[in-house]
Structure 1
């Protein structure tokens, strides 16, 4: 499911216009992006947790020459699904439904 399909589905389920739903979705994703970029975590009950991860600098090897090279530190983001989301997905998988058909 892409963003356009998600917006259409939420609009249908809530009775709001797609424009309003798209604006709210943009606000949510921007808020998560800013919070995680600033080093915070964002937890949504029954959905999951977004958190910033740190990979320290380290020494690596060039795959062809074997020469050592310095790999700079980097930052990433991790999503950990909540137990409620995992249970929901597992229940759908056992019932033989695809996640898209279960939502749409």
Structure 2
């Protein structure tokens, strides 16, 4: 499901216009992005949690030449699914 499809589904289930649903979804995504960039954890009970994780610098390999190279440290987002989501997907 892509973002426009999600907007349409939310609009249909909540009796909102697509513009209102788009505004709500964009606001939620902006707030989640801001929280994660501030190193906050987002916990949606039953769905899962998002957290910022630090990946340390490491040695990698250029697949074309085989030469060793250093991969810089970076921050990334990790998602841990909740119990209800795990159960829904496994059925």
TM over 0.5: yes
For 1:85, the equivalent position in structure 2 comes to 85
For 1:73, the equivalent position in structure 2 comes to 73
Judging by fraction of residues, say which structure has more helix: 1
For 2:17, the equivalent position in structure 1 comes to 17
Structure 1 position 56 matched with structure 2 position 56: yes
Deviation at 1:58, TM superposition (A): 2.2
- In 2, the alpha carbon distance for the partners of 1:57 and 1:81 equals 27
- In 1, the alpha carbon distance for the partners of 2:17 and 2:63 equals 53
Deviation at 1:62, TM superposition (A): 3.9
Between 1:73-82 and 1:57-66, the stretch displaced more is: 57-66
In structure 1, the gaps of 5 or more residues are: 92-104
Point out the structure with max Rg over C-alpha.
1
For 1:35, the equivalent position in structure 2 comes to 35
For 1:97, the equivalent position in structure 2 comes to none
- In 1, the alpha carbon distance for the partners of 2:77 and 2:26 equals 18
**Gap change, CA 1:70 and 1:13, over 3 Å in 2:** same
In structure 2, the gaps of 5 or more residues are: none
Question: What do you get for the CA RMSD once the two structures are aligned?
Answer: 1.6
Could you tell me the TM-score, scaled by structure 1's length? 0.77
**Gap change, CA 1:62 and 1:11, over 3 Å in 2:** closer
How many correspondences in the alignment? 91
- In 2, the alpha carbon distance for the partners of 1:64 and 1:25 equals 42
